[in-house]
Copies of this chain bind each other. A is one copy, B any other.
Amino acid sequence: MLEDKNKERTPLESMGEFGLIDHLTKGFKPVQESTVKGIGDDAAVLDFKDHKTVVSTDLLVEGVHFNLAYMPLKHLGYKSIMVNLSDIYAMNAEATQVTVSIAVSNRFPLEALEEFYEGVAMAAKIYGVDVVGGDTTSSTKGMLISVTAIGKAREEDVVYRSGAKEHDLLVVTGDLGGAYLGLQVLERENEVFKVNPNHQPDLEPYSYIVERQLKPEARKDIIALLKELEVKPTSMIDVSDGLSSEILHLCKESGVGCHLYEDKIPLDPMVISTCEEFGLDSTLVAMSGGEDYELLFTIDQKEFPKIKGNPNLTVVGHMTADKEAAYLISRNDAQIPITAQGWNSFAKT
């Protein structure tokens, strides 16, 4: 699916470690004022003056977090950056720099890494972050990516997971469940392709959810929107593991409970129709699917008029006094305890 057999392929061992890093990162020119020195020394040098520095790191493993059978390398590069920027935005901070490290086995030619870095470069450009460091090495099997993102925020702007109070409104951005369903579609097509290599996948009817999986966008726009609306959330987290898991994090860290209303959970029509096609419960998909990279936050009730009617923001519930007890209020008014169905990467499957 990804390999064009006619392309020339340059074996990595012909590059040498230093030549490879130079080659892959030569297009990365700093745009952030805070980047004093980027790639090319023992460490990057950053200057944040009177701002707080925010740091987040993630590890992505082939066969665990992504499958190269249907994840184009350019998209993978893009998504690796999004995953981390999303964590920075979830602090109500501005992302400013990233470091990108990659380990690959010898089966990857230079052109594969170039494609990956193209995606990295595209993400860096669109989101205005500088790639200031990284490491390129070999692995004994498969591909592994480690990204660290750095950002800045004024002290008074930083939003933690721990500030939610009783009666605060629970708000989520965009819609949920799409990324998970996109993965189901891609996996189904891949199974068909394995049986019949002449099969031409028609992903067109699923374009939105496939894009949610392959090319997610971190919600930088929401951080700008909140500033514009003059709303500072009391707590915030990004939806990487699924709504259930993120709600439990906010509840635990803030020492509050939560009522989440099933009928308020924002779902795209394509999510609903694809759930029907796959025989999946759309609420379960939104609660446990993960990888949507939306933001979940709480605001004081008095802020409600400021966000009311904004198409990017949906109030899905409110926080309660019951420490660490979170409930889904179902369409038929049943009160169902929320349990962590967040993705457990060590579970046997």
Contact = CB atoms under 8 A, between A and B. Distances in A.
Interface stretch (A143-151, A185-193, A221-229, A326-334): A143-151
Given A13-B348, A45-B53, A87-B42, A59 B343 contact: no
A36 B88 CA distance: 15
A236 to B, nearest CB: 8
Interface string A49-80: 11011111111011111000000000000000
Contacts of A132: 55
B139 A144 contact: yes
Contacts of A90: 42-43
Contacts of A134: 57
Interface in A80-102: 86-88, 90-91, 93, 97, 99, 101-102
Contacts of A142: 140-141
A60 to B, nearest CB: 8
Interface stretch (A16-24, A121-129, A267-275): A16-24
A346 B20 contact: yes
Given A43-B151, A56-B133, A135-B58, A346 B146 contact: no
A91 B46 CA distance: 12
Interface of A is mostly: mixed
Given A16-B340, A346-B12, A99 B61 contact: no
Contact of A36 (B12, B50, B52): B52
Interface residues on A, range: 35 or more
7 contacts: A43-B149, A46-B55, A47-B52, A59-B146, A61-B139, A99-B148, A103-B144
B42 A238 contact: yes
A305 to B, nearest CB: 27
A165 B148 CA distance: 34
Contact of A59 (B40, B137, B161, B245): B137
Contacts of A13: 344, 346-348
A48 interface: yes
Contact of A346 (B42, B88, B138): B138
A224 to B, nearest CB: 18
B47 A53 contact: yes
A344 B17 contact: yes
